Every structure is written in C-alpha cells, then in structure tokens.
Chain A
C-alpha cells in the first residue's frame, strides 16, 4: 500500500463555508470564556461577521465564475450552488438581526434567559424581565446557516446527510427557546425533533438503498450508473425515500404536518429564519439530487413530484383559509409556496428547461418576502408578547398606517400580485412548467394561487376596514435591527417586482449544476 493521498481542497471555493463555521466555533468559545455582560453584543457581531462575510465571499467567487468539484469530489461549488449559498447567507444575516432585536419586548429579547429553568417556576417568572439572554442561540443559528450552505453544495449523499443534520439539530434547539409562552415553544421543539429525526431516518435508508443499487454515493456516479445500467426497483425505492426526507425539510404536503405547529410555537425570529433559509436549502438539495443524479432518468421522479406539487398547493391554500392565527396562516402559505416551487422543479425538464433559473429566483424572492412578513408579526404586540390572533389585527391601519401598509404590501407579494417579486417568481416557475408541457399543473397552480390570495386579502381587509378591537394589539416601535430587516425586505420585494431583469439574468447565468 502506498502512502495515503491527501484530498485536494480548494480553500478559495470553501471560503464561505469556512467563514460561517469558523464564526460559529468561535461563538462557542465566547460562550465559554467571555463574561456574561459582553456576550450578547460580541455574539451578535460574530454572527453578523460570519454570515455577511460568507455572503461577500460567495459574491466574489461568483464574479470569478468559480465552477469546480472540490474536497475529493464531496462538494460541487457551481453557479446554482453559489447563488443559493449567497441567498442563504444573506437571509441568515437578516435573521440574525431579527434575533438581536432587544427594544420591542419589555422582556428585552425573544429568547429565554435561562433555558434550564423549568417553565412557569418562580425563578422563571423572576428572569422574565431580566437582561440575561441564552446567547447560545447565535452560534447555533450560525451553525444552522453553515449546514444549509453545505447542503446546497453537497455532491455526495453522505455529505448531504451530514449537512441535513448540521442544519436540523441547531434548529430543533432554538425553536424551543422562546422567552414567553415557553410551553408552546418546548412542545414545538419536541414535535419538530421527533418528526425531523423520523424523516432523516427515511433519507438515510434511501441513501443505503441507492448505495446498494449503484455501488456509489457520489451524485455523478449515480448518474453514470443510471445512464448505463438503467434503474431497478431498489434504486427507485431509494430515490423515493431520499425525496421523502428532503420534502419533509422543505415542508411540502403531505410531509407538512409539523410546519404549522413549529412555526406557531417557535420564537418568531426563529420562525422567520426557518421559513426563509430552510426552504432555500431544502430546495437547493432537491434540485441537485434530481438534476445531477437522476436528471437522465426523470421518468422515475417526475410523476411523484407532479402529484406532490398539486397536493401541496391545494393543502396549503385550502387549510390556510381556516386559520385564525397569523403565524399558522403564514405556515400554510409556506406549504402552498413549496408546491409552487415544485412546479419550477417539474420545469427542469431533464436539464433543458428554464426551471432551474426560475426556481432560484423564486427562492430568493419568497425568502425575502416571508422574512419581512414575520418581522412585521414581531411588531404587533399586546401585554403578553406578540398578538398573533387574527382578531387582534382588526383595524391595525388606524393604529399604525405604516406597519399595516408594509404588511399589506408583503401579503400582496405572497399572493403574487403584479409589481411585487411574488408575481415575477410565480410567472417564471409557471412558464417553466408550461414550456415542458406541464400546463395542467400550471392551471392548478393558478387556481391554488387564487384560493390562497383570499386569505392574504382577508387579513388586509381586516387591517383596513374593520373597527379596532377594544383589547386590540398595539404596534411596538422597532429598534435598529428590525428596521433594517423591514427596509431591506420591502425594498427587495418592490425592486424584484418592478425591475426584475438584472436578477433574472443573474439567476439565468447561475443556473448550472456540475457534478
């Protein structure tokens, strides 16, 4: 046996990942060694340096036109990967700003002061208004961002599985760390954890079956094997299980049951983070798996994805109608949007369609809009924290015209009204689906959009044309972090709707996957 060959590592291509994971690891050390008083500002600064640095690094790589397979073939840093990494890092930085907001709540933070203190105990009530915060949320969130960025560039199934766990485990924890309504938050964490672990077991079994059928876990190797030897039962079964694991993370119906509960129970900044970033990461991995590994045998997955897209759009749109809680309503909206995104995946058309570019653009537009919508939810409050019941939003426009205006604009974007980014995104994915002949899917998607528009408009009508409730919500004055998030998301939603050309071009040029 010869000496062991060191794998080739392109440090430049890995720079975004190294920055994020480096910031997270330093964050853990800060937690151990820095005195409590300085921890919060230091952690926020570190998290921002990591995520913004990674965002800039991906932009530099994209300008260079980096397109390579590195780390002994385990990572594929290509156009689509960099686009998704930049999206995740950017949305991650905005989420960290939401986490860092301390001015809104008299309790000084959305996050619990000491997670180990049992909820409702005298000590817990004592700590409710204290300055203390469980600052571990920042390194955990940055680890999750790192996992997501790894997820979208994973070029073999093992790395994909590890990235899935690296992004999920911190999310399970931070969704249980709300300062108010701790029981709901902990319940959300348990549900998310048990169902998430269940889904990753399915992903893993799929990995094992695909490995057994092809003898490799490298995506390009699977593609080769599929092309030369065809597909057997084992391989199709494995693909099905892999897709179940990924669709769960993307909260696509019928694997969505956790979504409303977790979105409602988790602290709202965490919900915003999950809704925006996890969706981008999960769809990035779905695109890579279906396109790179199974692109030449798209008959194996096309019928399943076609059916699931329909189910997801209808479930999201119809069940969204019956919701009375704003966060739950946005959760069903996220399920419906997952269905629209799958229309774009259908538009891949074996690699010739415009589906990839359309899906990339849609992910960016949806991530920004939904992040903004949840940021508004953090502003509307009553004496007991956030006021999320729909009835409490009645007549909000008379109390705060600006907040109601921003929410109305973001809801119109989610509904897909022209001059917002939602319209451009929907138009792009539906066109991609029609181009590959899936017009029945596009028709159903249009019907689902119309149904979903009803519940967005209902909230707008409630805010503008109802009399304010006596015990209605008040609108908090956002501090600097939340103001930045709102300004960026609203501006981006408007710009991507009015002049989407340059970003659509960018997505078009980025739409390459190597493997």
Chain B
C-alpha cells in the first residue's frame, strides 16, 4: 500500500479533530479532539520516517506521546477545578470574560 494513503488518513483525522475543537461544547470532548490531532501527527511522523528512511520521525512520535500525557495531567486538573465550582464542563457556560 502506498505511503500516501497513511498521510491522507492522518490529514483527515487532523481535520476531524480541528473541526471537533471548533464545534463541540464539552471541554472534555474538545480536549479529546486535540488528542486526536496530536495522534494524527504521530501517524504522519511515522509515515514520513518510513518515507525518508530516517529514524527521527519515530523518536519524535515518542516525545509527542510524553508531552500529550503531561498535557492531559494539566488539562484535566484545570477542567476538574472549574467543574467542581460550576457543576458543568461546557465551554459555553464559561462566559464571564468578554468584551
């Protein structure tokens, strides 16, 4: 199978993630969409590593996973703290800051 297919799949996943971030309301779902974007990048990286015959891409994919895990820790802590006060994780309810 040609490597292009993997790249197209990754681009489609990235787009689904980006659209999800823009249209979904729940902070947790928005966050999951961002994780989807990061994972599609991993797929792209591994494909390019194969295509260019270098190992860098695979190594970067590991770094991305570690960073994504750190981001989960920070992100869930912040979403939890706001949920405990408001009893809601909807990004539409967080509307005190405007204009």
Residues of chain A at the chain B interface (Cβ within 8 Å): 115-116, 118-120, 158, 161-162, 165, 169, 172-173, 176, 182-184, 186-191, 193-194, 197-198, 201, 204-205, 207-209, 211-212, 215-217, 260-261, 264-265, 322-324, 328
Contacts and interface: CB of A to CB of B under 8 A. Distances in A.
A154 B64 CA distance: 17
A188 B27 CA distance: 13
Contact of B41 (A190, A193, A201): A201
Given A184-B96, A208-B41, A169 B63 contact: no
Contacts of B81: 115-116, 118, 176, 186, 189
Contact of A201 (B38, B54, B82): B38
B78 interface: yes
B67 A162 contact: yes
A183 B96 contact: yes
A158 B52 contact: no
Contacts of A194: 21, 27, 30-31, 34, 75, 91
Interface in B81-99: 81-82, 84-86, 91, 94, 96-99
A197 B45 contact: no
Interface of B: 7, 14, 17-18, 21, 27, 30-31, 34, 37-38, 40-41, 44-45, 47-48, 51-52, 54, 56-57, 59-60, 63-64, 67, 70-71, 74-75, 77-79, 81-82, 84-86, 91, 94, 96-99
A74 to B, nearest CB: 12
B41 A198 contact: no
A176 B54 CA distance: 41
A158 B59 CA distance: 10
A197 B34 contact: yes
A211 B38 contact: no
A172 B7 CA distance: 32
A217 B45 CA distance: 11
B63 to A, nearest CB: 6
A328 B96 CA distance: 13
6 contacts: A162-B63, A165-B67, A173-B74, A186-B85, A188-B97, A204-B37
Contact of A212 (B38, B44, B67, B94): B44
B12 to A, nearest CB: 13
A169 B70 contact: yes
A19 B18 CA distance: 38
A205 B7 CA distance: 12
Nearest to A215: B52
Contacts of B21: 194, 198
A322 B18 CA distance: 31
